[in-house]
Amino acid sequence: MVTQLVKKQKGASLIEFMIASVIGVIAIGIIGSLFISSQRTASKRGQELLLLQNMAGTLQQIKEDAQRAGYDGVDTGSLKLSGATDTIHVQSSPDMLGYIYRIAPSGVASLRSVVYRHAPVSGSASSLKICEKTQSSPMLVASAADSGYKGVCFSVFDPKQIDVTAFSAVTHSVAGGKVSSAVTTVSMTAQLTNNVSVNRTMSVEIKHRNWQ
């Protein structure tokens, strides 16, 4: 007589099911947290890139245009805004950078003045304004920076997206041989209006040209 050994199949107990379920929930939670964390990191990096690109582009634009400051091309010497002592005028309260250069040999719009100034927008937000005007003779610094007088000033950035918390320009002399020169350092600090944790400070140096 042959005896067959029959193995009894035991089903999983309720406790085992519960343990497996808990482990599954924990695993899903960990994966979900990692996914959310990676998404947040990617989102913040995207926001930082947006801010950096806007700031770098603006400072580069200021540098390239300001290097034309003082250019005349008709008379000897360098053009300056009326009341300014340098071809690139800087001041504080309000923080401002301004200059002028010739764009045509003659006419009522032969000169172009440009002023960048830090100004409050609403509440605690601030922006960087640009005032571009054309005229036949150098105008006063205050007039060049006045929105509404022969032109309107505009915000460089959308205040709803980027808040410029600080803007400054400082000029210092540079000794070099018989010809003295000057360099203006422009600094800007900005943050995202809806996420102030994303903020950066950048600066650029502008070497004054001697048009004499």
- Please report, for the chain, the start and end positions of each structural domain, with discontinuous segments joined by +: 46-208
pLDDT 10s digits, 49-84 = 999 999 999 999 999 999 999 999 888 889 999 999
Eight-state DSSP code of residue 7 = P
pLDDT in tens, 179-205: 678 999 999 999 999 999 999 999 999
137 is written with which tokens? Answer: 């003779």
- Residue-level pLDDT at 22: 63
Residues of the chain with pLDDT under 70: 1-22, 24-25, 27, 32-43, 123-124, 176-179, 210-212
Contact 99, 87 (CB under 8 A): yes
pTM across the whole model: 0.78
Mean pLDDT score of the chain? 85
The CA–CA distances, whole Å, from 168 to 48, 128, 197, 212 equal: 22, 11, 22, 27
